[in-house]
Amino acid sequence: MKKIKSVLNSINFKIAVIFMLLLLATIEVVGASFTRQLEQNSIQNFESSIQVPNIITNQISSQLSRANSKKANQQLSQIISNYNLGDISQLMVVDNKGVIRAVSNVNDQNRIGQRTSNVDIKSVLSNGKQVSKVINDNGNYMVQISPLTSANGTNTPVGAIYVRASLQGVFNNLRQVSIYFLIAAVLGAIVALVISRAITRPIEEMRKQALRVANGDYSGHVRVYAQDELGQLAEAFNTLSVRIERTQEISDSERRRLDNVLTHMTDGVIATDRHGNITIINETALDFLGKTEKDVIGKPITNLLGLKDVTIQDLLSTQQELVVRVNDNTRDEMILHANFSLIQRVTGFVSGLVCVLHDITQQQKKEREQQQFVSNVSHELRTPLTSLRAYVEALNDGAWKDPNIAPQFLHVIQDETERMIRMINDLLSLSRMDRGVARMDLEWVNLNDFVNHVLNRFDMMLKSDSDKMHKKKYTIKREFPHQALWVEIDTDKMMQVIDNIMNNAIKYSPDGGVITVRLLQAQKHVILSISDQGLGIPRKDLNKIFDRFYRVDKARSRKQGGTGLGLAISKEIVEAHHGRIWADSAEGAGSTFYISLPYEAISEEGENWDEV
Ligand code: ADP
């Protein structure tokens, strides 16, 4: 059905129909008038061809002028039979009384002498005017009745000649001509089809090629049949399709390049239409926002970024810069800096917005940490200074004279001053490490010997009993492998780390605790663990104790002379050795600190070489 409709609508069909109709109309008009004319002429010619010549009519007239006798009738029959009838099928002579005097047809001889009943003959006899008419009786006939006048010149009517002749031949000729016209019409229709096909073929080819080009297939070409207007149109079409292909290639490669740039950008990029609905979004932006492309395309950017008080009109008119916080239950809060700019055409028409998202989470965190650090340092220094001032004021106010109080006050002043100096030294070494200017003096040491050496000092301190802090009793248990573990470390710094952890183990343990120090070798690491039987650390604080100034119990730490920086420095030192430090604890049941350092087992050969 659809196909029939498209054929009926095609130019090919329309041109063919128009041509055919024009041709048929022309042939019809020309043919009709021609055949009519031909018919008239043929009938006229036929009429004159069957006209009995005067010489014969005169002979007949002179016989009719005589009396109706058998002899005269024989004479008449003789004249008729001598006459070459040609197309005439029947000839009859009637006298002025309407009596048939002679007939050409042998079978009709019995009618001679009978009076004719033919009305036309009677009217010719009475008015003397010739009658010619076509009779449609068993095939077409022409009947011609001519009056006969006396041969002596008196014009006295003596009778009439009735002639009947078949028009079959004439009509056959006319039919023949009509058939020629019909053949011409059919040929004309075929020619019309061929011509219309010739005209529409290039158009049809161009239509098909246009469809292929629209579907992105530029491989084909329209054939140029001739250098006429259609040929030129086909050439122009081919040039056009080549240009479109090139433009398409350029725009494809531009798009790929843009896609590449967008994909590999560390910033998120979102483009919207002029209504603020998202049209393009890159991977980074999707990662930042924790969404998939399907979730966001076509949705308003204000919803995506959770902008409650800002409308798309605000963004379009002011292109403000915003800070967007992404709170996703599955991960930490992300802070993004969103910068908006307009997408404008050359005409100035605003067709959308581009939003560039920059991750400022770390930057903000650092800033917050720095602010926190400055406030912590001020606070940590103010506390000892305030107590120093109080003691100095008290001494000033006369306490220096009191031999019972003065030495005690001076001792506190000395302790606090020493703690402050320790804190400032710790801060300076942290600052050096932060700035990356702390030098590492690396050397290969046997870790077993090194840790033993550090622990021996603690045993010695226990015996010497000189330090107040170390008045506590403790036992150090060592669990070392026999195998020597060679590592490359900065011995001073690593000693500081072990000192810190050991001091903490003693500080935060009751008297008589056992401190177990283990060394073990894992695949590519050596792990040093120091376990105590002290207070333990609540689970929630386990990660925080490595932060600067973080203390589980501030008052206790201060009382013990702690600065809250020991573990922070230890962490920096261990990480500078590409190692890791962490703690594990069950509250109330002691803590274990682990230090893992990179280690590569030295082969047997290496050891032998060392011995040589
Ligand atoms: P401080 O100078 O306060 O000891 P550190 O950085 O060395 O500072 O330690 C931070 C905090 O970690 C301490 O204040 C303490 O609360 C906790 N801590 C460290 N080691 C232990 C331990 N062995 N047992 C219990 N708590 C500990």
Closest CA to 515 of 445, 449, 451: 451
How far is the centre of ligand 1, averaged over its atoms, from the C-alpha of 551 (Å)?
Answer: 6
Neighbours of 479 (CB within 10 A): 11
For ligand 1, whether the C-beta of 157 sits within 6 Å is no
Inform me whether the pLDDT recorded for 469 exceeds 60.
no
> Residue 468: what pLDDT?
52
Cα 500 to ligand 1 centre (Å): 9
Nearest atom, ligand 1, residue 593 CA? 23
Q: What is the pLDDT of residues 342-401, one digit of tens each?
A: 999 889 899 999 999 999 999 999 898 889 889 988 988 898 899 999 999 999 999 999
Q: Is 151 exposed, middle or buried (0-12, 13-18, 19+ CB in 10 A)?
A: middle
Please give, one letter per residue, the 3-state secondary structure of 536-550. CCCHHHCCHHHCCCC
What is the four-CA torsion angle of 7, 8, 14, 19, rounded to 10 degrees?
90
CB 380 within 8 A of CB 564: yes
Q: Whose CA is nearest to atom 18 of ligand 1?
A: 504
* Residue 44 in this model has a pLDDT that exceeds 50: yes
Nearest atom, ligand 1, residue 568 CA: 6
Best residue among 430, 532, 567 to mutate for probing ligand 1's pocket (most ligand atoms within 8 Å of CB) is: 567
Phi-psi region of 118 (alpha: psi -120 to 50; beta: other; left: phi over 0): beta
Out of 423, 531, 551, give the residue to mutate to test ligand 1, the one with the largest number of ligand atoms within 8 Å of its CB.
551
Does the pLDDT of residue 610 top 60, yes or no? no
Please, which residues have CB within 8 angstroms of residue 67's CB and are 6 or more apart in sequence? none
534 lines ligand 1 (CB under 6 A): yes
Let me know how many helices (H) and strands (E) the chain has, helices first.
18, 17
Q: Are 160 and 144 in contact (CB under 8 A)?
A: no
pTM listed for this prediction: 0.52
Residue 585's pLDDT is what? 93
pLDDT at 467 > cutoff 60:
no
Q: Whose CA is nearest to atom 19 of ligand 1?
A: 504
Q: Is 275 exposed, middle or buried (0-12, 13-18, 19+ CB in 10 A)?
A: exposed
Residue environment code for 319-357, b if the CB has 16+ CB neighbours within 10 A, otherwise e? eeeeebebeeeeeeebbbbbebeeeeeeeeeeebbebbb
* Helix/strand/coil percent split, the chain, to 5: 55, 20, 25
How do residues 561-603 score in pLDDT, each as one tens digit?
788 999 999 999 999 999 999 999 987 889 999 999 999 887 6
Q: How confident is the model at residue 476 (pLDDT cuts 50, 70, 90)?
A: very high
The pLDDT of residue 268: 95
- 367 CA to centre of ligand 1 in angstroms: 25
Q: Give the model confidence (pLDDT) of 510-558 as tens digits.
A: 887 899 999 999 889 999 999 999 989 999 999 899 998 899 988 877 7
| 604, pLDDT greater than 60 | no
Q: Which of 376, 383, 426, 508 to mutate to test the pocket of ligand 1 (most atoms within 8 A of CB)?
A: 508
C-alpha pair distances (Å), 332 with each of 326, 361, 366: 9, 10, 15
In angstroms, the CA 35 to CA 33 distance is 6
In this predicted structure, what is the pLDDT of residue 609? Answer: 45
